[in-house]
Amino acid sequence: MTDWEPQRIAMVETQLVPRGITDERVLDAMREVPRHAFVGPGMESSAYGDHALPIGEAQTISQPFMVALMTQELALTGREKVLEIGTGSGYQTALLARLAEQVFSVERVESLGRRAQKTLEELGYTNVLIKIGDGSIGWKEFSPFDRIIVTAGSPNLPASLLDQLDDPGAMVIPVGNQGFQELKVVHRESGSDTLRNAGGCVFVPLLGKEGWDSAG
Ligand code: SAM
């Protein structure tokens, strides 16, 4: 059986550290979570490359650097309740599960959500709950959340997600048009929100009631 650990370590040293990922908990998690287990069969040897990869259903597992950057922006300590929108392969979910207390993740494509759930179960993650549905409206039942991460590009900041963010709290979300977005970081403290741009990015669209119209 292939030992992928050297590739994970190389990924961290060549793609993440030189580009400013400094959170040691994030770097450690990325040295440990087996990214190759979340890509399709036959794609394992590409899993640690410096790019996104297709995961079926016209969706992607994001580039390792983008996953690391978004996770670092959440500044997780291990005690947070996190809402993730766009489970995809479940790779980002696995990192969140290692770095936070509880993860609630919503995926609109059933086959992807089910496959991610199976992979996460096989790897032994027990603090993740996955729902199939429209995550642009959040997951009210379990709100408020200390952190929210959206891994699909949104036309704006969805009001439901802002409603479901706790105070203090933080949310990272790519906002822009369908070809290009800015990674926005919302920080909520003592009743007021501040918004920061953390760089440009390209994500598949967030489809749904408070995202892009799935019909068009
Ligand atoms: N973080 C994922 C990973 O590590 O594999 C990659 C996520 S992929 C870039 C974006 C995902 O968002 C896709 O799986 C897509 O189906 C999902 N998505 C798009 N709109 C959604 C919505 N309204 N609710 C939930 N998931 C959505």
Q: Is 166 left (phi over 0), alpha (psi -120 to 50) or beta?
A: beta
Q: Of residues 45, 62, 89, 111, which has the active-site annotation?
A: 62
The mean pLDDT value for 154-168 works out to 98
Residue 155 has pLDDT above 70, yes or no: yes
Show Cβ contacts of residue 65 under 8 Å, excluding neighbours closer than 6 positions.
15, 16, 19, 21, 50
Residue 216 has pLDDT above 80, yes or no: no
User: What is the rounded distance in angstroms from the CA atom of residue 194 to the CA atom of residue 33?
Assistant: 32
The mean pLDDT value for 145-164 works out to 98
**Residue 1 Cα, ligand 1 centroid: separation in angstroms?**
30
Residue 44 has pLDDT above 90, yes or no: yes
Look at residue 57 in the predicted model and tell me its pLDDT.
86
The mean pLDDT value for 118-123 works out to 98
User: What is the rounded distance in angstroms from the CA atom of residue 92 to the CA atom of residue 86?
Assistant: 9
Domain 5-201 is classified in which CATH homologous superfamily? Answer: Vaccinia Virus protein VP39 (3.40.50.150)
Asked if 164 contacts 144 with a C-beta cutoff of 8 angstroms, the reply is yes
User: What is the rounded distance in angstroms from the CA atom of residue 122 to the CA atom of residue 162?
Assistant: 33
**Residue 38 Cα, ligand 1 centroid: separation in angstroms?**
14
Pocket test for ligand 1, best of 206, 212, 213, 214 (most atoms within 8 A of CB): 206
Answer yes or no: pTM beyond 0.95: yes
Look at residue 106 in the predicted model and tell me its pLDDT.
98
The mean pLDDT value for 34-52 works out to 94
**Residue 86 Cα, ligand 1 centroid: separation in angstroms?**
3
Asked if 167 contacts 189 with a C-beta cutoff of 8 angstroms, the reply is yes
- Residue, of 56 and 80, whose pLDDT is higher: 80
Is 62 a known active-site residue?
yes
User: What rounded mean pLDDT belongs to the chain?
Assistant: 96
Look at residue 215 in the predicted model and tell me its pLDDT.
60
Show Cβ contacts of residue 6 under 8 Å, excluding neighbours closer than 6 positions.
none
pLDDT grade for 200, boundaries at 50, 70 and 90 = very high
Bridge partners, 128 (sequence order)? 103
| Tokens encoding 92 | 């980002």
Look at residue 194 in the predicted model and tell me its pLDDT.
98
Look at residue 134 in the predicted model and tell me its pLDDT.
98
Convert the pLDDT of each residue in 45-70 to its tens digit. 999 999 999 988 888 899 999 999 99
The mean pLDDT value for 94-121 works out to 98
